[in-house]
Amino acid sequence: MTLQSLRRLTLSAFAGLSLSASVLAVPAAAAEKTPQWSLAVHGGAGVLERGELTPEKDKAFRAGLNAALEAGAKVLKAGGSSLDAVEAAVRVLEDNPLFNAGKGAVFTAEGRNELDAAIMDGATLKAGAVAGVTRTRNPISLARAVMEKSPHVLLAREGADQFSKDMGLEQAAPDYFYTEDRWKQLLAWRKDQHAMLDPTHLFGTVGAVALDQKGHVAAATSTGGMTGKRWGRIGDSPIIGAGTYARDGVCAVSATGSGEYFIRESAARQVCDRIAWKGEAVQQAADATMASITKIGGDGGLIAIDGEGRAAFGMNDLGMYRGAISSAAPTPRTAIYADEPSPR
């Protein structure tokens, strides 16, 4: 099945669904409270229909999301910063081979793992990002080092790898990133450049957004990119304003999808601008932004959190691995399918 066919299948099957159905519903009692802290995560989007995943895979994905939520929530409960929380959550997802980031990254056409990541602090509007790194175990921590320990925002490839070593970040040999499933996807791609498409996880990226007890927001995103990518391709994940954005009092956003379209629509910044300039609610802004991406032919999803900690999940695929937790609803809640109600 070609990527274009998958897109047509996705949009056709999704046509009858409201984008707002993708929201993780918060129990009524919790919704009445303004959370002191809040966290949402995602693990990528795909053409997910019920029954596509085995029960074991379903359980494993939810466990991975729960672990990330718990890591971030631990920081926030203790009064830690939203920046620390999103980094902690994303590191957990990077270490999980189920997700296309860090350990589970896909392979390029040349058989390499090239990793992208970005992080942004809503309090200061400082940001850091890396693209095409090959040796850093947790690229999100390297992105944070770029933000805090360099005068730059984005470093790429050999220079980013060297900066990582200079900063003393944990390095990993290339075989650390190897997983059998990802390698098989590359071999299939080499035979048929559409065969590697896994409809249950077509757009592999991980991300987190958070509000801390001081009212600051932050966003973080990490990815291995696309199987068979060439020529140093870079998607939206490390592009501030496209795949990652945060501004205090407004929102924080992390996106996943066909990155070229999210770049063209300035998707992450667009969500925040809709809230700040048009007075849209966070879910309304997320849905409208995804509609703009759909209009130009893009697929995927995004997570957002507003200045008061309300989380929203927008998508135009049949699913997105996602979860949320907050002081108002302190039990991790996860969902996979677009029409799936949040666990209560």
pLDDT of residue 2: 44
Q: Is 319 annotated as a binding residue?
A: no
DSSP for residue 195: T
So what's the pLDDT on residue 191?
84
Q: What would the two tokens of residue 27 be?
A: 């129990």
On whether 64 is known to bind a ligand per the annotation, the reply is no
Is 205 tagged catalytic?
yes
Q: What's the CA gap between 193 and 102, in Å, rounded? A: 23
- The matching CATH number, chosen from 3.40.30.10, 3.30.70.1170, 3.60.20.30, 3.20.20.20, for 3-14+23-331 is 3.60.20.30
In Å, how far from its chain's centre is CA 186?
Answer: 22
DSSP 8-state symbol, 88? H
Buried b (16+ CB within 10 A) or exposed e, 42-74: bbbbbbbeeebbeeeebeebbebbbbbbbbbbe
pLDDT of the residue at 29: 43
Q: Splitting the chain (344 residues) into consecutive groups of 10 residues, what average pLDDT does each group show?
A: 44 40 43 81 81 86 97 98 98 96 94 96 98 97 98 98 98 94 87 62 84 98 92 95 98 94 97 98 96 94 96 87 95 89 43
Q: Is 79 annotated as a binding residue?
A: no
The single residue of 10, 134, 205, 334 carrying the catalytic annotation is 205
Establish whether 334 is an annotated binding residue.
no
pLDDT for the residue numbered 302: 96
Res 9: pLDDT: 43
User: Pairing mode, if any, of strands 126-133 and 154-156?
Assistant: parallel
Q: Which residues contact 115 (CB under 8 A, 6 or more apart)?
A: 101, 102, 105, 130, 132, 133, 134, 136, 139, 177, 222, 223, 224, 225
Q: What is the DSSP string of 237-294?
A: TTSBTTTEEEETTTEEEEEEE-HHHHHHTTHHHHHHHHHHHH---HHHHHHHHHHHHH
Place of tokens 């999301």: 65
pLDDT of residue 62: 95
Q: Is 18 annotated as a binding residue?
A: no
195 contacts: CB under 8 Å, gap ≥ 6: 188, 189
**pLDDT for the residue 43:** 95
Q: What is the pLDDT of residue 344?
A: 41
pLDDT at 189: 84
Residue type, 226: M
